[in-house]
Structure 1
Amino acid sequence: MLKIEQKKVFEGNDLETTLEKVREDFKVQSNEEISYKIIQEPSKGFLGIGKKPIILEAYLNEQYLINRVNEFLESILYYFEEEVDIKIKCHNKTITIYLEGESLGKIIGKQGRNLGALQHLVMIYVNRMTDTKFDVRLDVGEYRKKRKKNLELIAEQAAKRAIITNTKVELSPMFAFERKAIHEYIKNNYPKLASVSVGLEPYRKVVIYPSRNGKRRY
């Protein structure tokens, strides 16, 4: 289980009432959103002498994060007026979100702009909730898989231009997952070329250039 917040220590007379304290402190409704470890079992003692409370170490877990992300997405997707099924998985420090439905073109947007913006918003939201740095991957109807093929075609055409002209080729601004696909394609298919991302978000773009021993030539 991932730890979303620092552990806190709670004590009480029994497990049930102590967990109620935990829920109140973390402002959650369900025990599924918290993880805990008993560090001291309760003891009634003898005639009240030696009585010990139960002591827990507790923290918010990944289910809390999944539930909050789901609520956040629902609040945004409501305005698209589309029926959307949200599936969220959390593994290590990566949150993967799948959106499924009949008509999701508005959510994807032209060249995936809405999708990229939505992913960026979710990433900001998630990383404000925790000190742990999370990677957020958002996909709509396998859009990323289809987009990757288009990006590889763009990378191929740009690579050929860079070789023919023996100079750098700048691509249009892209989102992080798109730039990553371009970098991987160039690295795996063109050993005499290199690529780098330049600029600031949301105008950050990929530059492909002829390279010798990994050194820039522009």
Structure 2
Amino acid sequence: MDNRTNLDDYLAELGISEADESVTPPPAPDASGSAAPPEAAATDPRAVLDRFLRGLVARIDPELNVTVRETEDAIEAEISGENAARLAGRDGRTLGAIEVLAYTVLSKLEGRGDTRVRVDIGGFRKRQADTLTKLAERLAIGVAKSGEAHELQPMPAAERRVIHIALKEHPDVMSESVGEGASRRLVIKPRHS
């Protein structure tokens, strides 16, 4: 195992340094389409996320595109391009790591620790939500027929939420989360038991 402990050494090996301005993107445009002034870009969460993600993908694959938008409850980013799906990583692990980094960058802004960040790469999250919704529907049919509850494996909160939403209005079954921390999982059970 490598005994280096200095993060700067790792970054330098990757060709990334604090002084590296060669791939720094221009300020993100504001709602009117013009570039935000530098002082606004430093505090606008959408501009901060846009700058961070553009800098990240420029180092990985300059052909990738980044789109950032603010919704009612979160700041959402989409990374797209011909090879974007590969960036999501196995089971979305790289995507999850990028999302954690993006949240960390935004939480550094004063008073922005409560900002929700959602990142999708090449439509991975949408495909995953579709798969989970279909799973929820299949399991709901089985639980309704058997009358017995079905407990799923532990899963992240975002995935549990997709299943909860899919079954929210189901007439025959309901879902609930049980357990603590990383072992938190969903139970689908008959609504009238």
TM-score calculated relative to the size of structure 1 = 0.59
| Structure 2 unmatched runs, 5+ | 1-35
Asked if structure 1 preserves the Cα contact closer than 8 Å seen for 2:85 and 2:123, the reply is no
Which of the numbers 159, 173, 189 marks the counterpart of 1:193?
173
Structure 1 residue 32 displacement after superposition: 4.9
Larger strand share, 1 or 2 = 1
Structure 1 residue 75 displacement after superposition: 5.2
| Structure 1 unmatched runs, 5+ | 1-29, 36-59
Q: How does 1:1-218 map to 2 (within 5 A)?
A: 31-34=37-40, 61-62=43-44, 65-74=45-54, 76-77=56-57, 80-81=60-61, 83-132=63-112, 133-188=114-169, 190-212=170-192
How far apart in 1 are the matches of 2:48 and 2:143? Answer: 45
Asked if structure 2 preserves the Cα contact closer than 8 Å seen for 1:104 and 1:140, the reply is yes
The structure-2 alpha-carbon separation of the partners of 1:101 and 1:163, relative to structure 1 and needing over 3 Å to count, comes to same
Asked if structure 2 preserves the Cα contact closer than 8 Å seen for 1:82 and 1:104, the reply is no
Secondary structure at 2:119 match in 1: strand
How far apart in 2 are the matches of 1:204 and 1:80? Answer: 34
Secondary structure at 1:34 match in 2: helix
Q: Find the structure with the greater CA-based Rg.
A: 1
The structure-2 alpha-carbon separation of the partners of 1:93 and 1:184, relative to structure 1 and needing over 3 Å to count, comes to closer
Asked if structure 2 preserves the Cα contact closer than 8 Å seen for 1:183 and 1:196, the reply is yes
TM-score calculated relative to the size of structure 2 = 0.65
The structure-2 alpha-carbon separation of the partners of 1:136 and 1:87, relative to structure 1 and needing over 3 Å to count, comes to same
Runs of 4+ in 1 over 6 A off after TM superposition: none
Structure 1 residue 140 displacement after superposition: 1.9
The structure-2 alpha-carbon separation of the partners of 1:82 and 1:174, relative to structure 1 and needing over 3 Å to count, comes to farther
Asked if structure 1 preserves the Cα contact closer than 8 Å seen for 2:85 and 2:121, the reply is no
Structure 1 residue 93 displacement after superposition: 4.6
Number of corresponding residues = 157
How far apart in 2 are the matches of 1:187 and 1:120? Answer: 28
Asked if structure 2 preserves the Cα contact closer than 8 Å seen for 1:80 and 1:106, the reply is no
- Tell me the alpha carbon deviations over residues 140-162 of structure 1, each in whole angstroms, 9 at most, x when there is no partner: 22333322221111101221232
Structure 1 residue 97 displacement after superposition: 0.2
